A and B are shown apart, each in its own frame.
Chain A
């Protein structure tokens, strides 16, 4: 549960994590994305940030309806995009980094901001990605 002084939501956390990724493309695979985030939630450092996501295990992989809704939301609002015909990759658009910088980042403390960066690194590893050099 969020603390009283906390202004951010789990959606802000996801946006912050994605905005801090070193890569510009991630797999749009539901099993991989949800499994990766579920793994992060189990790490003590990130548990509070991701506490609002409930993962069910009825499927072959952990699944959070709220996380999936957040991803679809980011797609609908132009922060993530996928391309025809397979839609197998999410591209992280500049809009996500811009809006997080303007609206999301001020909601976090400096310590929480560092945690978001660490979370992004761990998320990439969990997705089994190589970072793209700048």
Chain B
């Protein structure tokens, strides 16, 4: 895509409301610092070398965005949050990831260009998808999904979540950045004849455009999109987990076909195997890396630091701004280095310890494991009411339970150091959302991958068997907290906690 590409015309995204005015002011305030008033004109193409994909070429327009603090701050946000404290090589950042997504979007786009048939799809569309890939993670905060879990619960996002059709919190922030007047102005300076910023923003939140454009959106926001293809490989590579996806076969078997009257991305039957690999890889990565108990403990410790700062009314000073974590935008200001340095600068000894314990790996320990294998249910139990709290929006309820356990254990530590952690339950809609051609000539309607083979159900069951919730606390409190937790859950939820719930985390089962 050249810097002065002909305009593709703005596309109205349906049902996107105007953001709350205070929210937009905060975004504008942030962009005043992180986005220059005008782009630096480079005009020349550059080659970037990526450890995973090799060489990636960026044109002058793309570089104009890359060379801004808004983008460069992604160097200080780790892709997998605190995973590096368990998998030491997972120090890769959001910056490498977004460049990798640009690479994958380009690759998928060019593969589709060869097989598009009569459908409208051109080089310019690939240019837009590359930009969407470049921008798609601008709304991430420190430690990526770790901070997203915290600000995602703030009520300011509720009104937007409905109109943006359940987009993820960081996608909503990214969207707000892209549609701001400041960013639009910058975009116009880079691409004077291109008014496609709304279309690009729509790709990111999955907000649907016209029916004939949905397959384009799926290259960046779909069951086997560029984002997934990069992070599967990147996260598995750097964590040392050997996962395999036959990327070349996927690209060669991609087509556009009508699914229920709309042109969508599909694969031929021989492309079903790489799709199955993607589904399994995603579940294995989730259970082995993202939901690893030590990484979950770190996430709780980070949330505990935020909670402590709120409880003791200690906002983080950032220039002239006091960040009290009451707004999702506060998390955009802070990168990981700044958060770490807070531990050195604070005069509050407890806050210092909380931050240092996290960054120097003196982690919370498991006092109890919650899973279908460690709980004996009855016909009259209320165990589903506890699992319900794994949903987002239930943070307060989980904290209330943790507080009760802390009190019942005799308050052996700070309240911010006892946690009931319930990761999200496995969710496998992708297998129903991905379609396989039954014949190359497209005479019959494509069928879903799940109809082709019930892979979604098998992967979901794998995830359910591997799902673990935990009670975390400092090492020296484990016995007391374990005893309090056992008593609490057996009384409130009418189940029996089996000895395995404690033996598996090397705690002596309470009597």
| Docked pose: A64 CA to B392 CA in angstroms | 13
Task: Pick the contact of B387: A54, A66, A76 (CB < 8 A).
Answer: A76
**B236 contacts A by Cβ under 8 Å:** no
Whether A60 pairs with B433 at a CB distance below 8 angstroms is yes
Whether A69 pairs with B391 at a CB distance below 8 angstroms is yes
**B388 contacts A by Cβ under 8 Å:** yes
Whether B427 pairs with A86 at a CB distance below 8 angstroms is no
Contact bitstring A92-114, B, C-beta under 8 A = 1, else 0: 00110011001100000000000
Closest A residue by C-beta to B424: A69
| Among A23-31, A39-47, A117-125, A126-134, the stretch in contact with B | A23-31
| Among B23-31, B63-71, B161-169, the stretch in contact with A | B161-169
| Among B98-106, B134-142, B354-362, B460-468, the stretch in contact with A | B460-468
| Docked pose: A76 CA to B423 CA in angstroms | 14
Given A76-B425, A99-B382, A58-B208 contact (CB < 8 Å)? yes
Whether B457 pairs with A86 at a CB distance below 8 angstroms is yes
**B380 contacts A by Cβ under 8 Å:** yes
Whether A73 pairs with B387 at a CB distance below 8 angstroms is yes
Contact residue range for chain B? 35 or more
**A68 contacts B by Cβ under 8 Å:** yes
Count: A-B pairs, CB below 8 Å: 108
- Chain B nearest Cβ from A65, distance in angstroms: 6
Max chain B CB contacts within 10 Å: which of A29, A75, A77, A102? A77
Given A63-B429, A66-B391, A69-B391, A57-B165 contact (CB < 8 Å)? yes
With a CB–CB cut-off of 8 A, which chain A residues contact B161?
A: 54
Whether B464 pairs with A95 at a CB distance below 8 angstroms is no
With a CB–CB cut-off of 8 A, which chain A residues contact B461?
A: 87
With a CB–CB cut-off of 8 A, which chain A residues contact B19?
A: none
With a CB–CB cut-off of 8 A, which chain A residues contact B425?
A: 69, 72-73, 76
Whether A60 pairs with B165 at a CB distance below 8 angstroms is no
Instruction: List B224-283 residues whose CB lies under 8 Å from chain A.
Output: 259-260, 262, 264
**B120 contacts A by Cβ under 8 Å:** no
Whether B206 pairs with A56 at a CB distance below 8 angstroms is yes
Whether A28 pairs with B429 at a CB distance below 8 angstroms is no
**B119 contacts A by Cβ under 8 Å:** no
With a CB–CB cut-off of 8 A, which chain B residues contact A72?
A: 425-427, 460, 464
- Chain A nearest Cβ from B187, distance in angstroms: 24
Instruction: List B195-218 residues whose CB lies under 8 Å from chain A.
Output: 206, 208, 217
Whether A98 pairs with B379 at a CB distance below 8 angstroms is yes
Whether A75 pairs with B464 at a CB distance below 8 angstroms is yes
With a CB–CB cut-off of 8 A, which chain B residues contact A58?
A: 165, 206, 208, 217, 221-222
A interface residues (Cβ-Cβ under 8 A, vs B) = 9, 11, 15, 28-31, 54-61, 63-66, 68-70, 72-79, 82, 85-88, 94-95, 98-99, 102-103
B interface residues (Cβ-Cβ under 8 A, vs A) = 161-162, 165-167, 206, 208, 217, 221-222, 259-260, 262, 264, 372, 377, 379-385, 387-388, 390-391, 424-429, 432-433, 435, 448, 450, 454, 456-458, 460-461, 464, 467
